[in-house]
Amino acid sequence: MQDMPHIYKVTADSIPEGVMLSASGIPDLCSSAPAEFGGPGDQWSPETLLTGAVADCFILSFKAIARASRFEWIEIKCEVEAVLDRVARRTLFTEIRVNPSLKISDPEQIGKAEKLLRKAEAACLITNSLTAEINMSIDILVSGE
């Protein structure tokens, strides 16, 4: 890892379809308002991008922690629901529900799996940067069960 601070730069350009996001070295991404705000609902929006960033960061954090712990796993998925609401005349995310589903092969490793998933939640820099309440519901599946 490089020394901190890390700087991330994204440019947003208005286009007829919405907004074109671009950053050096990666493909451009078109976004638009979600259907709930009068957008077409068929593109990534700021709301879905933030929700996706939580899911992405959670999985990347878990993979790094599992690797460092030499923990073997089969598959991980993470569903995230972000609740947008009005509070004191401000629109903001009030709750983010992180629902990882981890498949392992050894039933004796369920406790360790849960511990590592909780470590991933604590290490996720995206959720650590948000003010919304973070709630996690873990599902651990044992292969063959």
Please report the pLDDT score of residue 65 as a whole number: 98
CATH number for the domain harbouring residue 100? 3.30.300.20
Number of domains in the chain: 1
Domain of residue 68 covers 58-142
Name the DSSP class of 107. G
In a domain, 17, yes or no: no
| 55: nearest Cα among 78, 35, 86 | 78
> Sorting pLDDT into bands at 50, 70 and 90, what band is 7?
very high
In a domain, 117, yes or no: yes
User: Which pTM does this prediction carry?
Assistant: 0.93
> Sorting pLDDT into bands at 50, 70 and 90, what band is 145?
low
> How confident is the model over 31-73, as pLDDT tens digits?
999 999 999 999 999 999 999 999 999 999 999 999 999 999 9
> Sorting pLDDT into bands at 50, 70 and 90, what band is 1?
confident
In a domain, 86, yes or no: yes
> Using H for helix, E for strand and C for coil, what is the string for 16-81?
CCEEEEEECCEEEEEECCCHHHCCCCCCECHHHHHHHHHHHHHHHHHHHHHHHCCCCCCEEEEEEE
> How confident is the model over 62-116, as pLDDT tens digits?
999 999 999 999 999 999 999 999 999 999 999 999 999 999 999 999 999 999 9
In a domain, 100, yes or no: yes
For residue 144, pLDDT over 80 is answered with no
